[in-house]
Amino acid sequence: MKRERNRVDKGFTLIEALGASVILGIGIAAAISGFTALGKGEARARDVETMHRLAVQKYDELCATTSPFTGSQNGDFTDRGDTTHTWSLTVQPSGVQNLDAIIVTVQKTNANPGDPAAEVDGLVNEPPQTSTTAAGGG
C-alpha cells in the first residue's frame, strides 16, 4: 500500500540554498577580480600617460636649450617636484650630414625590465661649426 503524503513543498531545501550560495560567491569573487584588474589597468595607463607627457616636455626643453647634442645624457625631474621618474637622452647619427636623431626615454625610477617606458624621438639639425679667422695681410 502506498501512503500519500500531504506535504506541500514550500521554499528551498538546504541543498538548493547551499548551491545558490556557492554560485553567488563565485560570481562575487569574479566581479571583485574584474574590478581589481580594471583598477590596475587604469593605474598603468595613467603612468604611461604621465611618462609620455614628461618625455615630450623634456624633448622640447632639450631641443630649445641644448646645442650641440653630444653623447648621452640623463637626469630626473626633481626640478618639477617629481622624484618617481628619470629621463635619458640618446643621440645617434642619422646618416645625413648635420642631422642627428635624438631619443628621449622616460621611465620610473628603479624600473624593472617589464615596466613601461615612454619614448619621444625626432631629428635635430646641427648647424656646421664655423670658425672665424682674422684675415691678415702682410
Instruction: Please give the single-letter amino acid code of residue 18.
Output: L
Residue 105 and residue 120: Cα distance in Å, rounded? 7
C-alpha angle 99/101/103, rounded to 5°?
A: 155
In the chain, where the domains are located = 14-125
- Relative to beta strand 117-125, strand 99-108 is antiparallel
Q: Tell the CATH topology of 14-125.
A: Pantoate--beta-alanine Ligase; Chain: A,domain 2 (3.30.1300)
C-alpha angle 43/46/48, rounded to 5°?
A: 110
Residue 56 and residue 60: Cα distance in Å, rounded? 6
Q: In a structure prediction context, what are the per-residue pLDDT tens digits for the chain, which is 138 residues long?
A: 555 555 566 777 899 999 999 999 999 999 999 999 999 999 999 999 999 999 999 999 888 887 777 767 889 999 889 899 999 999 888 888 888 889 999 999 988 888 889 999 998 887 777 766 655 555
Residue 114 and residue 122: Cα distance in Å, rounded? 25
pLDDT at 40: 92
Residue 55 and residue 46: Cα distance in Å, rounded? 14
Q: Where do runs of H (alpha helix) occur along the chain?
A: 14-65
Residue 89 and residue 124: Cα distance in Å, rounded? 13
pLDDT at 46: 94
- Grid cell listed for 113: 625590465
